[in-house]
Structure 1
């Protein structure tokens, strides 16, 4: 077979297998299609399919095919992160800054502290978790922040599924998650700070500030149809600038969306684009993520680490949000519901740990443990939150 035929076979597998599992197995309640795609990506990776059928794996996922899939995955995830930045509603956050600031800070600090403690424990337990290019503080902060992440785009999908996206509760949760999203990318920039390239990074940030001011003036004068085209060009330029400076193209993609106003676009058009990106190209990203998993340290060690990180993530988030609820005088049960919604991980955390792996802050074994934690935390959300919401009706 030539490369084109192998690529098309790979695409058929990537699109068909998760869909059939999701539809035939009726997993939507506890595992939305996005989660099934992530799990299938892990199964199709070298640690599972590659071990069971090495010849088949080497044929279908040959280097030329992987190269083509990676190109699609890069663009898909850049557009997705760009939309996540666009979803930020910082004007409303500022209006409710005491409530949002207190909740977001504690919701982030709780799992961050517990996650950092878990990372220290991993280093003390055995070697093989920290990447070759990392300092211990970078590894600890990176793992801790992975436990603190809230996946804003997936949270939106789950809130839609629970029929509360445009309800007061849903809007509250999105405001808290929006602030945490900003903090996540800020911390990532600190972790990735390269003192050998600090001049490039300072130049990028200074240039970005000027370009963003000019870009915003231009966008206000355009029709919405033109704004989409110009916005995508802006995304590519910002992603290139961030990667050139050493910050990573995902930081640039998020900044490109974050400085845009959501009301420049019809809300239904934003939702449609997000759904189409998830449908058409994000499955390729999930597959490329699964191809990076590694079980060479041993499945038991990886699963133990994933379990510890899951407890740190969920426990820290519930504790932080619970404290916020007491300080702000929330009604009984709100903190529990909001805490479980905010512990949703999936896509943004997977993107975050992909960057840590790219920069050799973590090893592929740590990446695998964090990926398993992200899947488990997301699968827990709807089964736990849905019964609580029924009680409130």
Structure 2
């Protein structure tokens, strides 16, 4: 039972998150940056890096933080559902070969470089499993944040161009690979209920053969009756059950949320689709996710980083930039995409943002990484996300100052006849 004092501070804490996320998010957008950059910076600024624990304890007393964390986890589950539900399957039509090649290269190269860096750094950090740390850093370097990338493409007018479609499809495939790799890390790190992990294939089969057809029937009935409440209730209930099942078998609940979103049938009725995306995403992004990102920022402590930490940060940034850039650029060039557009794709694939923060927080909670390394990796996520916009602006100017000229192109190599028949 919550005390009156806890209830009061819970609501005041939510107000503080709303105000901070709105102010810093708006400031980030003024600088043509994703709002999540501002929200995480807000958490960093009120955290121990500048003021110790004084401001944090004043705004968010220790006995209310578990309650805020519960709100944040619900928001994260809703967010991961939307990510799975909005995987850009439509963008793969006619682009599958190119998107797959770019995605594989943009995951494989940073993963290998991240593993090599981890082998060098692991001795300086207290971790639960050295193998888990090595695999985790490779995975963290491989991430591209699909939601942030989609927002950048829309803001830049590249969303409906050939370049934008390939970037979205490649990032979607990369997201799936990243979550699979993180699942491997969780298993290697020794989560709870390891014997239950044997039930994962059975759960996947049930999702495809039972859950998906059942949801399709619910959607069909709603489309016939004109109602929208039943699909929303069914999806939310199924989402919570999927998150519970993922935790029960010993993997993180985000995998259950993501998978449930991926198997949920796509409906043709606009109002039902709005219920599943606009309403859920609005609730998540306005209140619950800002709680998650502000709390994530508060965990960053840069006060004791020192020269050794700065050296690690430089190495992390170099590997992060070089791995993603070289991998995506190589995949694009091998697909016959011109050099300028290949450079743009490489810049876009370096966007980490939301997805990276989620992955890092999971790693910290599971003791795959320690608090100091978490702080450095959050900085890497912010920097790599922040530079994407300016890089695209520079490339647009090289393309003639027009986003459409950057986004549309002809393949250079005559051997890729199937690629030239790509539908846009």
Q: Settle same-fold status: TM greater than 0.5.
A: yes
In structure 2, relative to structure 1, the CA distance for the partners of 1:228 and 1:378 (3 Å cut) is same
Return the offset for 1:341. Answer: 0.6
1:118 is displaced (CA, Å) by: 1.9
Quick check: 2:24–2:39 contact (8 Å CA) kept in 1? Answer: no
Aligned 1:159-174 pairs, distance under 5 A: 159-174=153-168
State the partner residue of 1:317.
324
> Matched residue pairs, number?
384
Structure 1 outlier segments of 4+, above 4 Å: none
Q: Secondary structure at the match of 2:368?
A: coil
State the distance in 2 between where 1:350 and 1:332 align: 31
Contact 1:302-1:368 within 8 A present in 2 as well: no
RMSD between aligned alpha carbons?
2.4
Tell me the equivalent position of 1:215: 211
Give the distance between the partners of 2:153 and 2:267, measured in 1 at CA: 20
CA contact 2:50–2:303 (8 Å) conserved in 1? no
Q: What corresponds to 2:18 in structure 1? A: 15
Mind listing any 5+ residue stretches in structure 2 that lack a counterpart? 406-424
Larger Rg: 2
Whether the aligned pair in 2 keeps the contact of 1:208 and 1:238 (CA below 8 Å) is no
3-state SS, counterpart of residue 62 of structure 1? coil
Distance (whole Å) between structure 2 residues aligned to residue 275 and residue 117 of structure 1: 40
Once the 2 structures are TM-superposed, how far is the Cα of residue 310 of structure 1 from its aligned partner? 1.9
Higher mean Cα deviation, 57-66 or 146-155?
A: 57-66
> Per-residue deviation at 1:259?
1.5
TM-score (norm 1): 0.90
Q: Determine the structure 2 residue equivalent to 1:67.
A: 66
Q: Is residue 302 from structure 1 mapped to residue 305 from structure 2 by the alignment?
A: no
Structure 2 counterpart of 1:385: 392
CA positional deviation for 1:145: 1.2
Q: 1:346 aligns with which of 327, 347, 353?
A: 353
Partner deviation per Cα, 1:323-355 (whole Å, 9 max, x = no partner): 112211112311110111111011111111111
CA distance in 2, matches of 1:316, 1:26: 26
Shift of 1:297: 5.0
1:257 aligns with 2:272: no
TM-score norm. by structure 2 comes to 0.83
Aligned with residue 150 of structure 1, among 119, 144, 154 = 144
Give structure 1 stretches of 5+ with no counterpart.
none
**What pairs with 1:49-128 in structure 2 (closer than 5 Å)?**
49=51, 51=52, 54-90=53-89, 92-93=91-92, 96-123=95-122, 127-128=124-125
The one of 4, 8, 16 aligned to 1:5: 8
CA-to-aligned-CA distance 1:261-316 (integer Å, 9 cap, x gap): 34456466625643542122211001221232234753444343233212211111
Cα separation, partners in 2 of 1:271 and 1:299, compared to 1, 3 Å: farther
Q: Distance in 1 between matches of 2:233 and 2:161?
A: 31
CA contact (8 A) 1:149 1:181 kept: yes
